[in-house]
Amino acid sequence: MPDRSKGNGFTLIEVLFVVSILGIIISALFFSLTRGEFSSAVSSAKADLQAKVRSIMEWVTKDVRETNLVQIDSNNPSVNHIKFRKVTGMDDTGSYTFADNYIEYNYDNTSAQLTRNKIDVASGAILQSSVFDNMTQSPFYVAVGVPLEPSPSAGNILFYKKLLIVIAGQSQVKNSLTLNFSLAEEVKVRNP
């Protein structure tokens, strides 16, 4: 009888065991790579969203710092809308001089868009428009949670000297994760 212990092949059990081990290793590698790719996508989307919100905040605060309270107040401000002309200097009497264009910010809850328009004072024509998508809340307040609106006892004059601006954005990552980021900044507005 031949001696079977000296065979030069593998048994079926040995082959199945090696294949199972390789399958587990390949599955673990695939899971790690997929998880790493998703993590990278989240990090990238988060950085993009933060940069976008910061950029919009810089733009809005720069514009607001270049006007005065009377300009904001005289154009019916609300939590969704401000409109003003920028101060360009002072005349010989010590009064402010203003730009020939209005700057207007409108927030639309339905489309979640903040729009910045540059409008010609004389014709009312929109000269330039920029739209910021995926904005998730009204941006203009005078204090946390208090809408920007004229004081009823003060007629049409706002006594607020600071405007709280909140820019809140949202982004989707691979249609499975929603990222949110917001910034708030209190801007001192020039006195009349």
Domain count, the chain: 1
Name the pTM for this structure. Answer: 0.74
> Is 29 contained in some domain?
no
Query: Residue 73 falls within a domain, yes or no?
Result: yes
The stretch 162-189 carries a mean pLDDT of 89
Confidence of residue 3 (pLDDT cuts 50, 70, 90): low
State the average pLDDT for the chain. Answer: 85
Range of the domain at 45: 36-188
Confidence tier at 94 by pLDDT (50, 70, 90):
confident
Section 102-113 average pLDDT: 95
Q: 25 in a domain, yes or no?
A: no
More confident residue, 163 or 133: 133
pLDDT at 159 over 50: no
10 belongs to a structural domain: no
Q: Which pLDDT score, from 0 to 100, does residue 187 have?
A: 87
Q: Residue 75: its pLDDT value, please?
A: 84
Selection from 141, 80, 79, 76 nearest residue 102 by Cα: 76
Is 9 within a domain? no
Of 181, 182, 183, 164, nearest to 64 (Cα)?
A: 164
Tell me whether residue 14 is in a domain: no
